[in-house]
Chains A and B, each alone.
Chain A
Amino acid sequence: MPTFTINGMTASVPDGTMILEAARQIGIEIPHYCYHPKLSIAGNCRMCLVEVEKFPKLQISCNTVVTEGMVVRTDTEKVRKAVTGVLELMLIHHPIDCPICDQAGECGLQNYYMKFGLHKSRYALEEKVHKKKVQDIGGQIVLDAERCILCSRCVRFLREVTGTCEMEFFSRSDHSEISIFPGRPLNNNYTGNLADICPVGALTNKDFRFKCRVWFLKSADSICPGCANGCNVMADFKGDILYRFRPRRNDAVNRTWLCDAGRLEYKKANDYRLLTPVIREAGQAIAAAWDAALFTTALRLREAIEAHGPESVAVIASPQSSNEELFLVRKLAAEVVRTPYLGFSSLTPGRRLEDDFLIKADKNPNSQGARLLGITEEGFVRTVKAISEGRIRALLVFGSGLADFSDGETVALLSRVPFVAQVATNEGALSRAAHAVLPSASFAERGGTFTNFAGRVQRFQPGFPPRGKAKNDIEVIAGLANQLGAGWKFAGEESVFRALAETARPFSGMSYESIGDLGREARDGGPPSGGR
């Protein structure tokens, strides 16, 4: 643990730490472009120059190891002049496209220019070297070679993380240009990350292109609902519309990456949403008030229970629901309805792509949570069997679809049940067939926890209130239970989680504080213990 001094402050850091990282840990920001904590060190941008005592020249802090007794200064005139010089060099041929550049507002050049530059350009506009703009290079990426500062982060990402090596530098000096090889576009499942790691607007996201200026966006810490890996994301929204996902660093789950399919998962919260409760009587769909919809649903469930016994009612849970919601669903099925038919399916329609990095075949964020709460896939199979044998008189379904069933299969199955109530966010064959549709809040409109494939419990935060007349699932489930005479008093997801942690063993001893921003492993059994 060498001890060193930086700007007069003394600190000890682990052996082998670079000055830049060490400075970051004690809150001193050193400007940099090419350095990225999850990529190898290139040391080519020269922005992170610092003065180190007894070194004749300025050193690049990203690649200088802290040694015992080292004295570093980042705030001297010499450093400032050098950094300004480097920045000026980078901006010599820069097009300054800021008005039409999606990076504006979160651009390394803009930020550092305001901090370290503020110089007048000494280079004539006509003499700037022009390069190819607006190139669709495949994946989710648009390349503008003119804006590139040749930091090589993209090259290193494609070499070290995906191993696909699609991008390289071509030509020399002023004419150096980043590009793909002719006729060989980006071909991997992680291209979206290039737009995140590119410190400037050279690589931007095709999907987000021109949709919104970044300074209008607010952000909620969330979890990607796209697969069982549970990658940490920042869900960026304006008003009640989500615009994009950006990865949130969590070294135990997704480091700083996100897959391309996951990046588009935000669309689920925007498109094809169920926004009003609907009651369907004699084939006629009528928009209903919440009270009426809940009352009708509860009434039909109670009628079925009274006429044919509790085993004539089935509940299908959704692995898209949070642990809190699943806990209440289980409670509703076991304690209020008292049906043996409760299950969930982790299957989804379409190809279930999988790799050995982030992408998991299970396309649900919380299948593991359902399993840990004792809701089984075997229960789903039993339920479907009972439905097709005509033994189920009333069905309560959570989620927008049924396993990997096609629309036709879903309709055929549901036609065997006299009353189907659905609690879901998105429309589909199921919502068109259900007799009562109770719209629920999307992942961006509610809070809770998901348990990822490895049993890590992670929180997702609400960004904005539910759209339209949609309601938080917890309110819907508790409303139904109370209509059936349960007398539940839950106020918000945190109170539900407390009840969950008290009764469900894998979650015992957990609280929202102990889960924190980065999550915590659930125990598969084992004795309960206090928070870490």
Chain B
Amino acid sequence: MAIRVVKVARPEKMSFGESVYLLEIVKGLGVTMRHFLRNMARQENIPTIEYPEVRRVMPARFRGCHRLMKRPGGAPRCVACYMCATACPAKCITIVAGESPDPKIEKYPVRFDIDMLRCVFCGQCVEACPVDAIRMDTGWYTMPENTREKLIYTIDMLLEK
């Protein structure tokens, strides 16, 4: 997929009309009205979607919430090498490594927590992983919760996604 880069030229100074913002608000309301009237006129292909029941399909390279991959047997693919935690600029990945009962695996993550509140969605963790165990391809971009604790994703949550 080719990437198209759009360069937007911004004016050095805002004109008087722009600086009072009134015109911009009217313009914005105009867009809202246009969508409203279009939705009223015909019901299929409406621009407004019923979020969160309906979600937009994000582009393939969109960086959303993380997930951890599994091996064919169901064990986590992650080998607890700490590469992601080392690369992470937000220092939001906490790993505790342990000795796996399977000698072929040797090292596995006993704990693997991502503090989503601190994550900046940079994707460095995905880049760093030597075994493609962590991905950000879930397409999920919002995660509203009512407590902070629920936004610390544990290994079980990450393996489920």
Q: Is the CB of B106 within 8 A of A213?
A: no
Once the chains bind, are A134 and B86 in contact (CB under 8 Å)? no
A78 at the interface (CB under 8 A from B): no
Q: Is A14 positioned at the interface, with any CB of B under 8 Å from its CB?
A: no
CB distance from B87 to the nearest CB of A (A): 12
Q: Enumerate A188-217 residues with CB–CB distance to B below 8 Å.
A: 209-211, 213, 215-216
Q: What residues of B have a CB within 8 angstroms of the CB of A100 in the complex?
A: 79-81, 106-107
- Whole-angstrom CA separation of A211 from B79 in the bound complex: 13
B98:A99 contact, CB within 8 angstroms = no
CB atoms of A99 and B81 under 8 A apart: yes
B79 lies within 8 A of A209 (CB): no
* A133 located at the interface, meaning its Cβ lies under 8 Å from any Cβ of chain B in the complex: yes
Cβ contacts B69-108/A at 8 Å (1 or 0 each): 0000000000111110010000000000111000100110
Report yes or no: B106 in contact with A134, Cβ–Cβ below 8 A: yes
* B99-A99 in contact (CB<8A): no
Q: Which size class do A's interface residues fall under?
A: 10 to 19
Bound Cα distance A104, B107 (Å): 14
A99 touches B83 (CB 8 A): yes
B56 → chain A closest CB, angstroms: 36
Using a Cβ–Cβ cut-off of 8 Å, how many residues does chain B contribute to the interface with A? 14
Interface residues of chain B: helix, strand, loop or mixed (majority) = loop
- Chain A positions within 8 Å of B30 at CB level: none
A133 proximity list for chain B (CB < 8 A): 103, 106
Q: CB of B28 within 8 A of chain A?
A: no
User: Residue A213 contacts which of B86, B98, B99, B103 (CB distance < 8 angstroms)?
Assistant: B86
Residue picked from B103, B106, B131, most chain A C-beta under 10 Å: B106
Task: Name the interface residues of A125-162: CB closer than 8 Å to any CB of B.
Answer: 133-134
Which of A99, A134, A213, A215 has the most B CB atoms < 10 Å from its CB?
A99
Q: What residues on B are CB-neighbors of A99 within 8 Å?
A: 79, 81, 83, 107, 130-131
Mark interface residues in B39-76 (1 if CB within 8 Å of A CB, else 0): 00000000000000000000000000000000000000
Point out residues on A near B: beta carbons under 8 Å.
98-100, 104, 133-134, 209-211, 213, 215-216
20 contacts between A and B (CB under 8 A): A98-B81, A99-B79, A99-B81, A99-B131, A100-B79, A100-B81, A100-B106, A100-B107, A104-B81, A133-B103, A133-B106, A134-B103, A134-B106, A209-B99, A210-B80, A210-B97, A211-B97, A213-B82, A213-B86, A216-B82
Closest 7 CB pairs between A and B? Answer: A99-B81, A100-B107, A210-B97, A213-B82, A99-B79, A100-B79, A99-B130
